[in-house]
Amino acid sequence: MIISKTPLRISFCGGGSDIASFYRKHGGCVLSTSIDKFIYISSVRSFNQDVTLLKYSVVEETRDISDIRHPVFRAMLGEFGTGGYEINSTSDIPAGTGLGSSSTFTVGLSNLLRTRRGETPDKETLASDACRIEIDVLGEPIGKQDQYAAAYGGLNFIEFNPDDTVTVSPVRMPDGSKEELNRRLMMLYLGGTRSASEILRKQSSNISSGSAEENQMRMCDLARDLKVELEDGRLDSMGEILDKGWRLKRTLSSGITNPMIDEVYETVMSHGAVGGKLLGAGGNGFMLFYADESAQEEIRRNVPGRWMPFRFDDSGSTIIYNDEGF
Q: Where are the beta strands (DSSP E) in the chain?
A: 2-13, 28-45, 52-55, 59-62, 85-91, 155-160, 166-170, 185-191, 275-278, 285-290, 306-307, 318-322
Q: Give one word for 158, left, alpha or beta, with left for phi > 0 and alpha for psi -120 to 50.
A: beta
**Helix (H) / strand (E) containing 106:** helix 101-116
Task: Say yes or no: 219 and 194 in one domain.
Answer: yes
Q: Can you give the residue range of the structural domain that contains 186?
A: 177-307
Tally of residues, the chain:
326
Task: Say yes or no: 207 and 164 in one domain.
Answer: no
Closest by CA position to 148, among listed 120, 129, 163, 162: 129
Task: Say yes or no: 8 and 139 in one domain.
Answer: yes
Return all residues near 21 (Cβ < 8 A) that are at least 6 apart: 204, 205, 207, 208
Task: Say yes or no: 156 and 190 in one domain.
Answer: no
Beta-bridged to residue 44, according to DSSP, are 86
Please state, in angstroms and rounded to a whole number, the distance separating the CA atoms of residues 173 and 190. Answer: 31
Task: Say yes or no: 296 and 184 in one domain.
Answer: yes
Task: Say yes or no: 91 and 202 in one domain.
Answer: no
- Domain containing 110 — which CATH number? 3.30.230.10
Confidence of residue 117 (pLDDT cuts 50, 70, 90): very high
Indicate if the pLDDT at residue 126 is higher than 80: yes
**How much is the pTM?**
0.93
- Angle in degrees, CA 224, 225, 231, rounded to 5: 95
Task: Say yes or no: 241 and 317 in one domain.
Answer: no
Task: Say yes or no: 168 and 41 in one domain.
Answer: yes
Confidence of residue 204 (pLDDT cuts 50, 70, 90): low
Closest by CA position to 171, among listed 32, 277, 68, 321: 32
Please state, in angstroms and rounded to a whole number, the distance separating the CA atoms of residues 242 and 266. Answer: 14
Q: Render pLDDT for 236-245 as a digit per residue (tens, 0 to 9).
A: 999 999 999 9
Q: Render pLDDT for 138-196 as a digit per residue (tens, 0 to 9).
A: 999 999 999 999 999 999 999 999 999 999 999 999 999 999 999 999 999 998 655 55
Task: Say yes or no: 199 and 317 in one domain.
Answer: no
Backbone φ, ψ for residue 179 (5° rounding): -65, -40
Structural domains of the chain, count: 2
Q: How many Cβ atoms from other residues are within 10 Å of residue 85's Cβ?
A: 21
Please state, in angstroms and rounded to a whole number, the distance separating the CA atoms of residues 14 and 184. Answer: 20
Handedness of CA 148, 149, 154, 155 (dihedral sign): positive
Please state, in angstroms and rounded to a whole number, the distance separating the CA atoms of residues 55 and 193. Answer: 20
DSSP 155-187: EEEEEE-TTS-EEEEE--PPTTHHHHHHHTEEE
Please state, in angstroms and rounded to a whole number, the distance separating the CA atoms of residues 92 and 310. Answer: 11
Please state, in angstroms and rounded to a whole number, the distance separating the CA atoms of residues 79 and 170. Answer: 32
- Domain containing 239 — which CATH number? 3.30.70.890
Q: Render pLDDT for 275-288 as a digit per residue (tens, 0 to 9).
A: 999 997 666 789 99
pLDDT at 211: 83
Task: Say yes or no: 216 and 131 in one domain.
Answer: no
